[in-house]
Amino acid sequence: GENVEQHPSTLSVQEGDSAVIKCTYSDSASNYFPWYKQELGKRPQLIIDIRSNVGEKKDQRIAVTLNKTAKHFSLHITETQPEDSAVYFCAASTSSSASKIIFGSGTRLSIRP
């Protein structure tokens, strides 16, 4: 079955700097890659997603890149702000997997003032 690895597990960056979180997946049939942000005690919230027919997607300060050949995808946050502090989860899914999403283990991002 699908396995999603996520690195790093913790990340601390200076406010205003960029943060990068990387994930790899095992199932070459995966074609949907969402990223969720979870603040302490709150629900996971989708921040951006990418499908396998594109290599990059950007939404304001957030961008995601996908390399299907290498089976890895990354989240990039630019000009980080204190409210970006949270746990970020990458995930992968295949259209044949009955909508099951497999999550990475998460990255705890801390923004230093």
Partner 1 sequence: DTGVSQDPRHKITKRGQNVTFRCDPISEHNRLYWYRQTLGQGPEFLTYFQNEAQLEKSRLLSDRFSAERPKGSFSTLEIQRTEQGDSAMYLCASSLARSARGTPQETQYFGPGTRLLVL
Footprint on this chain of partner 1 (rule: CB under 8 A)? 4, 6, 31-32, 34, 36, 42-46, 49, 51, 89, 91, 93, 95-96, 98-106
Choose between 78 and 101: whose C-beta lies nearer to partner 1.
Answer: 101
Ramachandran region, residue 72 (left: φ > 0; alpha: ψ -120 to 50; beta: rest): beta
**DSSP E strand stretches across the chain:** 4-7, 10-14, 19-25, 32-38, 45-51, 56-59, 62-67, 72-77, 86-92, 102-103, 107-112
The CB-of-79 to partner 1 minimum distance in angstroms stands at: 25
Q: In terms of CB distance, is 81 or 100 closer to partner 1?
A: 100
Q: How far is the CB of 72 from partner 1 (least distance, A)?
A: 17
For partner 1, the closer of residues 80 and 93 by Cβ is 93
Amino acid identity of residue 85, one-letter, is: S
What is d(CA 58, CA 47) in angstroms, rounded to the nearest whole number?
A: 11
Q: Which is nearer to partner 1, 18 or 45 (CB)?
A: 45
